[in-house]
Amino acid sequence: MGISWIDQKRCNGCGRCELICPQDVIRLNVEKKRAFIKYIRDCQCCFLCELECPQNAVYVTPYRERRAVLPW
């Protein structure tokens, strides 16, 4: 599941989450001035976007989007 939601009403399009995401998951819709989740599969659930969002618009879950291959 990873990053689950960017609240489009709260987001003010500042671009912070897009800039800092270490996995390059987020993009900015320039026309609407809103951030959106583009590459969900690559999210590593690190919460950085949620912690740094000045608008409290992002919600992250700790559950991976890709299946984990466990050792046993």
Partner 1 sequence: MEEIYSDILVVGGGAAGCFAAIKAKQNGAHTVLLVDKGYVGKSGCSKFAAGSFKCFIPDEDDFDLWFGKAIEEGYYINDQNWTKIHLKQVFDRVKELNSWGVDFLKDKNGGFERLEGQGSSEKRPIKTIMFHGPQLMDVLRATAQKFSVDIVDKTMITHLLHDKKNSKSIAGALGFDLRTGEHRIFKAKATILTAGPQAFKSHYAYQKMATGDAHVMGLRAGAELTNYEFTCHHLSCADFDTTGMNVLQGLGATFVNSKGEPYMKKYDPEYADRSTMNRLSAGMACEVMLGNAPLYFDFSHFDEKSLAYFKDTLPIMYRAFERAGYINNGTIKDRVEWVSVNMGNVGYGGGLKINTMCETSLNGLFAAGDAACGPASGVEGFCAYAIPFATTSGAISGIAASEYIKGSEDISPSPQEVRAYSQELSRPLKTLDGVEPDYLMLKVQELLFPMDIYLIRHRERLQQALARFCELGDEFVPFLKAYDPHYLRMAIEASNMVTCGELFLRAAITRTESRGSHFREDYPGIDNINWLKWVILTEDHGNITVSTEDIPIETYPMKSERKKYAYPIAKAMKGLE
Surface-to-core class of residue 21, CB atoms within 10 Å of its CB (0-12 exposed, 13-18 middle, 19+ buried): buried
Question: Looking at 6, 11, 37, 48, which residue binds partner 1 (CB under 8 A)?
Answer: 48
Report if residue 56 touches partner 1, rule: CB under 8 A.
Answer: no
Report if residue 33 touches partner 1, rule: CB under 8 A.
Answer: no
Segment interacting with partner 1, rule: CB under 8 A, options 6-14, 29-37, 62-70: 62-70
Minimum gap (Å) between residue 31 Cβ and partner 1: 17
Q: In Å, how far are 12, 18, 66, 69 from 55, measured between CA atoms?
A: 7, 14, 28, 36
Q: In Å, how far are 8, 56, 70 from 11, measured between CA atoms?
A: 5, 8, 37
What is the total count of residues that contact partner 1 (CB under 8 A)?
28
Chain positions contacting partner 1, by CB under 8 A:
19-24, 38-39, 41-42, 44-48, 51, 60-64, 66-72
